[in-house]
Amino acid sequence: MDRLDNTIRPYAWGSTTAIPLLLGVEPTGEPQAEMWMGAHPGAPSGTARGPLSEVIAEDPEKELGRAAAGKFGPRLPFLLKILAAGAPLSLQVHPNLEQAKEGYEDEERRGVPVDAPHRNYKDANHKPELICALTEFDGLCGFRTPDEAAALLAGLDVDSLKPYVDLLHAHPEDAALREVLTAVLSADPDEMARTVTEAAAACARLGGAYAPYADIAHHYPGDPGVIAAMLLNYVQLQPGEALFLGAGVPHAYLNGLGVEIMANSDNVLRCGLTPKHVDVPELLRVVRFEASDPGILRPEASPDGEEVYATPIDEFRLSRYVLAEGAAPRDLTRDTPQILLCTAGSVRADGNTLSPGESVFVPAGEKAEASGNGTIFRATVVA
């Protein structure tokens, strides 16, 4: 079992206080957006044996187990994070596996540098993800029905939004959502900036259901993503609740602290709320234009106390244990690789005592027990 030394990413949208508060350290005054746990080449976790990426590469079958190495190749197929949003992240969508392979191969053929700011596909993998709230957590997930979106836009009483309201009423669901998102992202930038400014003022004046969009506009003045965001479901998670973000589902995290797990990929197509490249044609190819309930997940408890967040993919499996002092140790031994992360209290994982924010990597098949008084998240795979 390897204690992990993890990198904190200082993205501008990160909270300055949430991760330091979890870790019990003084804030630096700088944003601390994400703590990465895993073997991602951009910031692999450190161990006493060296970077986790190198440890796995030296003997993938021993570290990952024969089944996981055979199914996913010689790499850890997931990345675990603590995510702390102090401002809205970009409105974005992820491709499915086939789209990712096609897009990556196309950009490779065309010689687009992998680090080019206009490159869409950094790799050939999909990027499903799951976010589990540690505090109240605000986000946007999936499209509202066209009627709901039309009512929200109409309530602003902004003349330049009325054509979008009409479009939402006039077409079948998928066509309505596609036409409006296309129109918003393709509009003249100066005209859209004026529309967003007027809409933001109305949101601030009306408050209530409009308050989240006033806050988004405060962080991204004039950005067309403010209007695009109003097409999506607003979700507020309570601690312990989660969202699964599958391929083609537009989403954005707005505020809060959570545990996030994702397939090991960097493929993101942005819809707005960002100064980065927005490829509208490719975005429209990937987005699933269908209204959907955001589908808040609550963990399913098993007899041994494991609470599992069920998802339809195999690259990751996230669960948690809420441990009580004096209770029998939980046997966490598995034939797949694991990362164990403490988020509350004090947890003992064999010879390691973990405080909030501390984690360990458990190679496949290695004996693992957890006890103590606190909460521990377990990240592994389905192999």
Q: Which residues are catalytic?
A: 270
End-to-end CA distance of the chain: give it in Å, rounded: 20
Q: What is the DSSP code string of 263-287?
A: ES----EEEESSSS---HHHHHHH-
Q: Where in 38-169 does DSSP place strands (E)?
A: 46-47, 50-51, 78-85, 91-93, 129-133, 137-143
For residues 99 and 61, what is the distance between their CA atoms, to the nearest angstrom? 29
- Cα four-point dihedral sign 382, 53, 340, 241: negative
Whether the CB-CB separation of 19 and 8 falls below 8 Å is answered with yes
HSE value, Cβ hemisphere, 13 Å, CA-based, for 275: 4
Distance CA 365, CA 104 (A): 35
